[in-house]
Amino acid sequence: MMGQAAQTTGLHDYLERQRWFAGKGREFTVEAIHPLSWLSAPPADSNNTAWPAVRIELVTVRYADGGGNLVDVYQLPVSYRREPEDHLGHAAIADWAEPELGGKIVWAYDALHDKEATPAFLQGLLRTTVTGDLAFQRIGTLNVDTELPSLVLTGEQSNTSLVFGEDVLLKVFRRVHHGRNPDIEVHEAFARHDCGNVARLFGWIEAEWPDADGKPGRGDLGMFSDFFRTATDGWELAITSVRDLYAEADLHADEVGGDFAAESHRLGATTAQIHADMARYLPTGEWGRDELVSLARAMRSRLAAAIDVVPALQTYASGLRQAYDDLEGALESVQVQRIHGDFHLGQTMRTVGGWRIIDFEGEPARAWAERTALDSPIRDVAAMLRSFDYAAQHLLAGHDHPDEHQLAYRAAEWSERNRSAFCEGYGEVAGSDPRDQGVLMRAYETDKAVYEVVYEARTRPDWIGIPLAAIRRLAG
């Protein structure tokens, strides 16, 4: 394969296969390819020992349908090699003639999977490399070996993360936008004020590129932070506790050796401290009647759209709308601030030093401009309460158990115990239990459960019973 057509075709096919590509199922074309400055480029006549050549390419795609964004820009770090590499077959993009590398055929691979290419990123951070369109920014000092081996972490859905040795985590944003990335913005505020409970930020990568109309702008491409090498994912800890409960024949949630309530209490306290720090170092505001009416209307609109997708919701629509009516009529004002925006147990890590919160990029399904919008911290709390429900019930989803009714009762007991513990821990730091804001809590939890019903109907039908159980409860 040679030339621009080969490059465009290769990038199209590679994007389509990636888990992080947000346009799955949509017809699209590669509209533009914008290569940034080389991170590690051998001269055109260099021998094999100088390869691979490494640079970041920004790929603009345009969708044929009218749903969602019409145009997206994806980041694809590319390593170029003079010969095909069998061990990189899973990361192969295509082969083409690259004018900047002597016009000869080169083989292109996703550089994040190429262990000989990734040191260029760590070297850029340590040298704070700056070119005309690409810059590495660093906070403080960092003493690490620039040749540390890298490993791509599994589990990421929207981005790609790799760890260098056991010390540095590089999170590469795949779908990129002009402007500050909220994950970097929050971590930078915490780092500059020496706040704990999040990973220490070492630095980030930013670049300048033209938008679809040719207008230049700057945006963030990735962030370097501390790697929690001894940490355990909060979701995994929670479902281990649920398995312990299911394994016991007659014990209640508070009698099982794997009781999670103490951890939920500590997590609630950590969440309240995170919210307090965000309010201290990032913008805050107040919503009055007009904003609350607008919020309630948006929630009603999402419910109406959800009923079109899942008609079974119509049975509960009246009770669900009551939560939105109360929000519109019972409150005069609400304090708002920057929040996490996509909070659940999978965004928490239990370290030897306590709970740490990760990934402040916001909900992937939300528009970019909405991810930094001020909101009530109760929204984060409600989202975490929904996550406890999922942890308690997901082992039952889609499976037939001879003692299903008993397990369902015990799952509900586990969920309620941990939801309460979380709120109590939160209240001890915040000064008031978030459940005291019942109108706001019910509205946010209802809105989240409606979203979950649609999501499960489209992606995991066997799980739809989890949010539907919450819908029945919230509808009264």
Cβ atoms of residues 153 and 143 within 8 Å: no
d(CA 366, CA 213): 23
Write down the pLDDT at residue 1: 44
How many helices (H) and strands (E) in the chain?
A: 11, 17
The DSSP letter of residue 475 is: T
- DSSP E strand boundaries for 249-386: 284-287, 334-337, 348-351, 354-357
197-223 in b/e form (b: 16+ CB < 10 A) is bbbbbbbbbbbbbeeeeeeeeebbbbb
The DSSP H or E segment spanning 391 is: helix 377-393
Write down the pLDDT at residue 370: 86
Cα-based torsion angle of the residue sequence 367, 335, 424, 237 in order, rounded to the nearest 10 degrees: 20
Domain ranges of the chain: 3-226, 232-474
HEC per residue, 257-275: CCCCHHHHHHHHHHHHHHH
Write down the pLDDT at residue 398: 61
Amino acid letter, residue 118: T
- Domain 232-474 falls in which CATH fold? Aminoglycoside 3'-phosphotransferase; Chain: A, domain 2 (3.90.1200)
Q: Return all residues near 348 (Cβ < 8 A) that are at least 6 apart.
A: 233, 234, 235, 267, 355, 356, 357, 358
Cis peptide before 42 (omega within 30 of 0): no
Amino acid letter, residue 473: R
**Averaged pLDDT, groups of 10, the chain, 476 residues long:** 77 95 90 94 65 95 82 96 94 92 92 96 93 93 90 87 94 95 96 94 97 89 93 95 81 73 97 98 97 97 97 96 94 96 96 95 83 96 98 80 72 94 98 97 98 94 94 95
This prediction's pTM: 0.90
| Burial (CB count <10 Å: 0-12, 13-18, 19+), residue 140 | exposed
Strand partners, 164: 150, 168
* HSE-up of residue 4 (Cα within 13 Å, Cβ side): 6
d(CA 361, CA 242): 29
Write down the pLDDT at residue 199: 94
Write down the pLDDT at residue 244: 86
Q: What is the CA radius of gyration of the chain?
A: 24
